[in-house]
Amino acid sequence: MCGRIYIKSTLGDLLREFSFAQRERVEGLSNQVPRYNGAPSLYYPIIIRDVVRDPDVFGPTFVSARWGLIPSWIREQKPVRPPPVNARCEGISANGMFKKAYADRRCLIPIDGFFEWKDIFGTGKNKQPYAIALKSGEPFALAGVWETWRDPQTGEDIRTFCVITCPPNEMMATIHDRMPVILHRDDYERWLSPERAPFDLMKPFPAELMTMWPIDRKVGSPKNDTADILDPTEPVP
């Protein structure tokens, strides 16, 4: 799964790194990054192509969205269950919660890295957190899907998203049985294209291009949102 991310880049860094995306809607995004311990329910910059709702947008564009997908057909003022933050790639094209977004509303989620917890003894009570990033140290994009949900009480349109996960690569398999889908740069355009089912892109990213290191357990609380979250530490014996 993927339930925590970090973005140490500034908004300017992201705009330069993902320069193919338009910048017309970046107002208000600067207060969303950097974010060293990003949890669900918060807002993040994502990249979409929304030609249906905005025909003046001819290419990918940065927008703000809340992590935790709420499909447009949900009518409750407050959905009973927490909105899903992940969608498994297996069966996503048939799952009623995700299939329309997967077909028509895919997105890129720019990040610098993510966190995962290793269950040391298999009991779920003693877990070692790890930070995971690219060896190059550059920002990268996770594959996601997005929706727009209208709050029935306020009439406000709220854009939401979730991260797609896949089986782990060799490195990730040593700490967890899932990992987020990391897209290669050459595949960004295709992921955002009108193609209905680019299933072959949802696969484990090469382990040799990634790195991970143990970090302090204070990452477990989203209230701890400082750069030292990423400092390496000795793993729990």
Buried b (16+ CB within 10 A) or exposed e, 83-108: bbbbbbbeebeeeebbbebbeebbbb
Catalytic residue among 107, 116, 147, 162: 116
Tell me whether strands 35-38 and 5-7 are parallel, antiparallel or unpaired: antiparallel
Could you tell me the CA-to-CA distances from 70 to 2, 10, 65, 169 in Å, in that order?
17, 27, 11, 29
- Catalytic (active site) residue 116: yes
Asked if 40 and 71 touch (Cβ cutoff 8 Å), the reply is: no
Three-state secondary structure of 46-103: EEECCCCCCCCCCCCEEEEEEECCCCCCCCCCCCCCCCCCEEECCCCCCCCCCHHHHH
Catalytic residue among 2, 89, 107, 162: 2
- Catalytic (active site) residue 166: no
- Active-site positions read 2, 116
